[in-house]
Structure 1
Amino acid sequence: MNKSKAKITAIGTYVPEKRLTNEDLEKIVETNDEWIRQRTGMKERRIAGNEEFASALAFKAIDQLVEQYGKDLSDVDCILVSTTTPDYVFPSVAAQIQAHYSIPHAGALDVNAACAGFTYGLHLANGLITSGLHQKVLVVASETLSKVTDYTDRTTCVLFGDGAAAVVVERCEDMSSFLASHMGTDGNKGHHLYRTHLSSTMNGNPLSTSGKMVQNGREVYKWASRTLPVEMAELLRKAKVGLDDINWFIPHSANLRMIESISEKSGIPMERTLTSVEYFGNTSAVSIPLALQLGIEHGKVKKGDLLLLYGFGGGLTHAGLLIRWGIE
């Protein structure tokens, strides 16, 4: 019996209307536009309303997907949502999506892999379909990071924005979207990027209990710049793919300087790298599909292109995929 194949058949994204510019941040903390752009490459980010939560952003991204591609969600049999800012501890955002769209026969769960969550979700969706367990998976990333950002900390409050994205992954008979995927974790470094809930220690390290995001940016930068080029090379080796075969590299848009470092050490020029960092900031798991959508809208990403997606973030976690883009 031939192994099932999986294919991405639709994508939708959404960002809130409210903009938070570098000039706005100058009025909140001691910073300035030049300092922010030099260190992060960011000009602005989008901010959800006070009563606009992860589920609401997710609905709008899914609505855009349905409208653009004419997708019927009634036969979705699994919903995977990546979020670190769910409306509730439980029930899940995925369960709210199932209810909102009256999807009758779908399992639903949230995936907490922080900024690597979208690539984790794609990895899981591919596995569920190629194993034969599922036929059609809705993968969503939705974040309202502004609600957990410390706007007294100038090193972190300039980074984060809000948004959502969704893709449909379906069983197919023709070309698979997924050539190879790879996941990894270094939990010993988890205390470098976190938001506490019940415990105030991690791996013997005391934590801030403010409930806001805390990041040791220098340590995360060092880890990502050292780890990702090695892991990406291993992913390409497993797939028997060379750097020159990749049309577009789409990493997590943590900040532009980190992306430049990873691209340089990996041997992938920035001319073949897509980001969403300039106008949306760091949107965690949403940043990769946002950059992909921007690439599609600007006529860069085309059917048949080979994409290298690589997410990384809190955990510390990372996950990458090689995808053959199959949408016109």
Structure 2
Amino acid sequence: MTRRSIIRGTGHYLPERVVENSWFEDKLDTTDEWIRTRTGIERRHFAAEGEATSDLAIHAAKAALADAGIAAEDLDGIVLATSTPDFTFPAVATMVQAGLGITRGFAYDVQAVCAGFVFALANADAMIRGGMAERVLVIGAETFSRIMDWSDRGTCVLFGDGAGAVVLEAAEGKGDNSDRGILASDLNSDGRYRDLLYVDGGVSTTGTAGHLRMQGNLVFRHAVEKLAQTAHRALDKAGLEQDQVEWLVPHQANMRIITATAQKMGLPIERVVLTVADHGNTSAASIPLALSVAASEGRFKAGDVIVTEAIGGGLSWGSVVLRW
């Protein structure tokens, strides 16, 4: 028998404020049509004044726990992916821990920008498979609206705020790719490409939060190539072929990247979970948000093979293959 990590429950949260593309038209040299055509984004959510990343994460965590049918005190730990923490320290995960009334176990953050949830999921899976935990709450939560340069139309129209969460639970499998749960992961980083996507502030440099900067065309080229490669590597590790994949749940960066990646994987767009139109790019929150939305709509059935993949600043990218 082999110890596996299965998804027991999912949940998500979006701030109440919905920002349509038209909101930018009197602030920037842009239009709703320009944004839709180039990104596929129609609207996004922005956190309210005083609403922090931890607040979004707590809402998503409670929804995932309710979906899983377990109490917060039954968790052994929390792994949270974010690039927009409430404070330099402590970790947002510890604030979620306190918000859920948990006084035991571990809670820490993972920072791999838009790829953060994939890294956090692989990390939590390793802890479960290694016997360090039975149940781990894995969260992606972001308030990217707080690091936008509102004069830069190439970035500020892309991002939104939100949070998504999954409850991972240990289960016994046969040890082959017919098992439920996480079957394989593939993680990568290459710091030579830091200047393609970064924030121009930080504690030990400017002493400020800074603003997001991106070379969009270059990021696009790297994304399409690297996302397809990492998905295929994870499938190879799992002993699966791409025609065995029922669903692709990609990082919701923009429709052009998602479509190009799906084509490279030989997947029709009907088998790709899409939330980018309504959420924009929510960075580390985008995959768990999409998973939760699709699960709540009943789109996944038991036994479905699902591939998740993401790329973000670093550059950091990776994928996870799981069976629902």
Q: Do the structures match in fold with TM over 0.5?
A: yes
Aligned position for 1:232: 231
Q: How far apart are 1:3 and its partner, in Å? A: 4.1
Aligned position for 2:27: 28
Matched, 1:183 2:187: yes
Q: How far apart are 1:199 and its partner, in Å? A: 5.4
CA distance in 1, matches of 2:249, 2:8: 18
* Maintained 8 Å contact 1:98/1:106: no
Amino acid at match of 2:27: I
CA distance in 1, matches of 2:260, 2:204: 34
Q: How far apart are 1:9 and its partner, in Å? A: 0.3
Higher mean Cα deviation, 271-280 or 229-238?
A: 229-238
Q: Choose from 197, 200, 204 the match for 2:202.
A: 197
Q: How does 1:141-160 map to 2 (within 5 A)?
A: 141-160=140-159
Amino acid at match of 1:64: A
Aligned position for 1:273: 272
Q: How far apart are 1:294 and its partner, in Å? A: 2.3
Unpaired stretches in structure 2, ≥5 consecutive residues: 174-178
CA distance in 1, matches of 2:277, 2:264: 22
Secondary structure at the aligned position of 1:173 is classed as: strand
Q: How does 1:1-328 map to 2 (within 5 A)?
A: 2-174=1-173, 175-195=179-199, 196-198=201-203, 211-325=210-324
CA distance in 2, matches of 1:270, 1:176: 24
* Maintained 8 Å contact 1:275/1:287: no
Q: How far apart are 1:68 and its partner, in Å? A: 3.4
Higher mean Cα deviation, 303-312 or 264-273?
A: 264-273
Amino acid at match of 2:272: T
CA distance in 1, matches of 2:104, 2:209: 39
* Maintained 8 Å contact 1:255/1:282: yes
CA distance in 1, matches of 2:10, 2:323: 14
**What is the aligned length?**
317
- List per-residue Cα deviations over 1:56-112 (Å, max 9, x = no partner): 001111122233333211131221010111000001111111212221221111000
Amino acid at match of 1:197: G
* Maintained 8 Å contact 1:142/1:163: yes
Q: CA RMSD in A?
A: 1.6
TM value normalised by structure 1: 0.93
Secondary structure at the aligned position of 1:290 is classed as: helix
Unpaired stretches in structure 1, ≥5 consecutive residues: 201-206
Amino acid at match of 2:194: G
CA distance in 1, matches of 2:298, 2:69: 21
CA distance in 2, matches of 1:60, 1:317: 27
TM value normalised by structure 2: 0.94
* Maintained 8 Å contact 1:5/1:130: yes
CA distance in 2, matches of 1:162, 1:73: 24
* Maintained 8 Å contact 2:231/2:320: no
Q: How far apart are 1:231 and its partner, in Å? A: 2.2
- List per-residue Cα deviations over 1:235-257 (Å, max 9, x = no partner): 22222211111000111011111
> Identity of aligned pairs, percent?
39
* Maintained 8 Å contact 1:94/1:110: yes
CA distance in 2, matches of 1:311, 1:108: 23
Q: How far apart are 1:299 and its partner, in Å? A: 3.0
* Maintained 8 Å contact 2:187/2:317: yes
CA distance in 2, matches of 1:229, 1:67: 34
CA distance in 2, matches of 1:255, 1:107: 34
* Maintained 8 Å contact 1:252/1:275: no
* Maintained 8 Å contact 1:252/1:288: yes
Secondary structure at the aligned position of 2:15 is classed as: coil
CA distance in 1, matches of 2:68, 2:122: 22
- List per-residue Cα deviations over 1:136-189 (Å, max 9, x = no partner): 111111100001111110111110000011111111135440111110111110
CA distance in 1, matches of 2:102, 2:292: 25
